[in-house]
Amino acid sequence: MPDNPLDMTGQTVIVTGATMGLGRVIATRFLEHRADVIACARREPEEPIAADGREAAFVTADVRDPDQIGAVVAEAVRLTGRIDVLVNNAGGAPPAETATVSPRFNEKVIALNLVAPLTFAQAVYPVMNTQEDGGVIINISSVSGIRPTPAGAAYGAAKAGLDSLTQTLAHEWGPSIRVLSVMVGLLRTEQAHLYYGDEAGIEAVGQTLALGRLGNPDEIADVVLFCASPLASFMSGASVPVHGGGEVPSYLLATTGEVARYRPGPES
């Protein structure tokens, strides 16, 4: 193992959906650790993705289009000659009532959150599989894949499928390629208010987690970096939960004391 297993010098990392939110933080974290980063998204970032004097190369791409995925892979190989890490981060879906949402909406959600990561993984496979050190594919999953997600049926189902895909590819493509998913919990991002309301609402939602707060993208990016590094060399096919301990069981919320009743104070 190298002296600094988190030093990504000479490693090429592709991050999808990298212009904002979690994807941008992940791309920045790899830049900070000296990786060559290829970022892609449907629209160019308003500001370059950069850190410590290093800047990510950007390729405009809709990851639902196999030809555009192929263009990202080709550009990565043209620039650096290799692909060591793929982070399938692009995803998401607006809330929609399951009874009335259109089949076309469901198709788009599943295409973005499940089919696109599979297609991108297939596209990098020929490159990674011929490299002496293989490669790592990291799928950004969600707790929505393991619990009910009202108004997010297609999204939750797609994320559940992504965790299943992770296990399958790990067996099909190992040992040369490690495949992991990072199962993300509730985060405080620039769009948190769209889901949780004002600051009081964000605080209240955070109190439903074991750690008593929402996570932040930096904490997820650290886990992604770890998974891509030699420190995780015996990890593959796993879904790594990064969710602050998970949400409180609903029966506790139904009691008079709610969550605080089960969380001891400083004097305890």
List the catalytic residues: 155
Phi, psi of 245 (to 5 degrees): 90, -5
Rg (CA), the chain: 19
Structure tokens at 213: 């707060």
Alpha-carbon span 215 to 221, nearest angstrom: 11
Structure tokens at 14: 């592709």
Of the candidates 147, 142, 228, 125, which has an alpha carbon nearest to the alpha carbon of residue 180? 228
Structure tokens at 136: 């790592």
Alpha-carbon span 93 to 84, nearest angstrom: 28
Question: Which run of H or E residues covers position 36?
Answer: strand 36-41
Alpha-carbon span 161 to 157, nearest angstrom: 6
Neighbours of 93 (CB within 10 A): 23
Alpha-carbon span 8 to 45, nearest angstrom: 23
Find out whether 187 and 214 touch, Cβ atoms under 8 Å.
yes
Alpha helices in 43-134 (DSSP H): 66-80, 103-110, 116-130
Question: Which run of H or E residues covers position 202?
Answer: helix 199-206
